[in-house]
Every structure is written in structure tokens, then in C-alpha cells.
Amino acid sequence: MTPRVCEVLAGRIRSMVRGAVRCLMGEGDCVVLYEAAIRLGARDILEFGTGLGHSTVALAMGVCARGGRVITIDCWDPLVVGDGGKAARQEVSSRGLGHLVEFLTEEATAWDPRGRSFDMVFIDTSHDLGPTRAELAKVVPLLRPGGEVFLHDVLAEIYARQGDILPINRAALEFVWANPGWNYAVLHPEPGMLGIGRLWRCPG
Ligand SMILES: C[S@@+](CC[C@H](N)C(=O)[O-])C[C@H]1O[C@@H](n2cnc3c(N)ncnc32)[C@H](O)[C@@H]1O
């Protein structure tokens, strides 16, 4: 494929990602995930928090050109999306991406990766400090060299809990302080976005 053809295809997929979004994820969030998957050349992506499947669609679109795969895990909290993944599966299959996605019903931190490794991880679960810390500790050892972790809603004050104004942001900052060589940045390229945190290891 020529660079021009790649550019045109990427533009088309970008507009499909935008069209995919309805509620839990913003358009800008999905585009950030899609573009990160492309930038990383990701073949294997892990997602904690399938929800309605909007982020799953963006991630699957990000790996489809390379025939990659997305594993998405959710415990189906009845207070959030208690349908056992029905809507998410529909969202993904209606876009012809079903063959790229493995849906698992599990507590994120209880999941057994069985030696699998990933180029990219996206975490969008309880938004509480303790679970986010535990999820980060679980996924970082699963990253391949150059792999990155993304966290949803790092600047969302709606998740404020006693003493933790921005719990996900705090979990990310604590991780970076405790792990020299790691970087943290907040991506919010569009107004209204609640921030996607990016964690990556400095090269070398
Ligand atoms: C905000 S929604 C995810 C939205 C999703 N990214 C989307 O695009 O629709 C959060 C999801 O995380 C799930 N969840 C919460 N805690 C979890 C845990 N400990 N393990 C697995 N899933 C969890 C909930 O059941 C819910 O479906």
C-alpha cells in the first residue's frame, strides 16, 4: 500500500470510530485509542472494562490492518452495564470486527493471562483508586517492549472519592513515582474530554 492509500484508509476508519460512539466513551477518547494502536503498530491489545464496546471497536479498528487481536474483559457490574456483554458484542459484530475480539467475563485482577503479552492495554473499569492500582500492577508485567498503558477518565471529578479528588490520575502518578523510567502524560485533545492517561517506559 502506498502512503497515500494508507492515509485515505486511516481517514475512513477515523470517521467510522467517530460514528461508533454513543455514550460511555467520547468521540475524542475513541480516536485517541485508535491512533495509539496505529502508532504502536499494536498486534495484541488488552482491555479491562468492555462496557458497551465502544472502546473495543476503536481498539479493534486499530489492529485490523495487521490482523491483530483484542482481548476485552468485564465482570458486568449490574450498576453499569449488566447485560453480560450483549450490547458490546452487538456493537463489535455490527462493524464486522467480531473475529478480532475475544470477550471474557472476569474480574480484571483475577484473570489469568496464561503467558500472553500485549503491545497496548486500556483500563476503564471501576475508576476507584485501589482497583486501579491493582490493575496497573497486573498489566505492566504483561507489556511487550515499547508497550503502553492507557487509563480512561483520569481528569474526571465525578469519580472523586473520600480524599481522592482524581483517583485514576493519582494511581498513575503513584505508579510513575514508584517506577523510575516510566513517563505519564494526560491526553485530552478535544474540549469535553475527561482525559486519557498514557503510561510508557522511557526508551533505553
Ligand atoms: C465505564 S464502563 C467501560 C466503558 C467501555 N470502555 C465502553 O467503551 O463502553 C466500565 C466497565 O468496567 C466494568 N468493571 C468494573 N470493575 C471491573 C472489574 N474489577 N473487573 C472487570 N470489569 C470491571 C464494569 O462492569 C463496566 O462494564
For 41-66, the pLDDT digits (tens) are: 999 999 999 999 999 999 999 999 89
pLDDT band at 79 (very low <50, low <70, confident <90, very high): confident
Q: Which atom from ligand 1 is nearest to the alpha carbon of 110?
A: 20
CA-based Rg of the chain, rounded to a whole angstrom?
A: 16
The answer to whether the CB of 60 is under 6 A from ligand 1 is no
In order, the DSSP letters of 159-194 are G-BTTBSSHHHHHHHHHHHHSTTEEEEEE--STT--
Residue 5 has pLDDT above 60, yes or no: no
The answer to whether the CB of 85 is under 6 A from ligand 1 is no
What CATH number belongs to 3-201? Answer: 3.40.50.150
Of 18, 32, 50, the residue with max ligand 1 atoms within 8 A of its CB, to mutate for a pocket test, comes to 50
Q: Which atom from ligand 1 is nearest to the alpha carbon of 77?
A: 25
The answer to whether the CB of 151 is under 6 A from ligand 1 is no
**Torsion sign over Cα 156, 33, 56, 107:** negative
Select the more confidently predicted residue: 106 or 28.
Answer: 106
In order, the DSSP letters of 19-69 are HH--SSS-HHHHHHHHHHHHHHT-SEEEEE--TTSHHHHHHHHHHHTTT-E
The answer to whether the CB of 33 is under 6 A from ligand 1 is no
pLDDT band at 151 (very low <50, low <70, confident <90, very high): very high
Q: Which residues contact 91 (CB under 8 A, 6 or more apart)?
A: 20, 52, 53, 54, 56, 57
Closest CA to 159 of 126, 124, 195, 198: 126
Burial class (CB in 10 A: 0-12, 13-18, 19+), 23: exposed
pLDDT tens-digit series, residues 165-193: 899 999 999 999 999 999 999 998 677 77
Whether 155 contacts 189, CB under 8 Å: no
Domain spans, the chain: 3-201
User: In whole angstroms, what is the distance from residue 171 CA to residue 196 CA?
Assistant: 13
Closest CA to 58 of 82, 27, 86, 83: 27
Residue 199 has pLDDT above 70, yes or no: yes
The reported pLDDT for the residue numbered 57 is 96
Helix (H) or strand (E) holding 104: strand 101-105
Q: How far is the CA of 173 from the centre of ligand 1 (A)?
A: 22
Query: C-alpha distances in angstroms, 141 versus 58, 95, 196?
Result: 24, 32, 21
The answer to whether the CB of 31 is under 6 A from ligand 1 is no
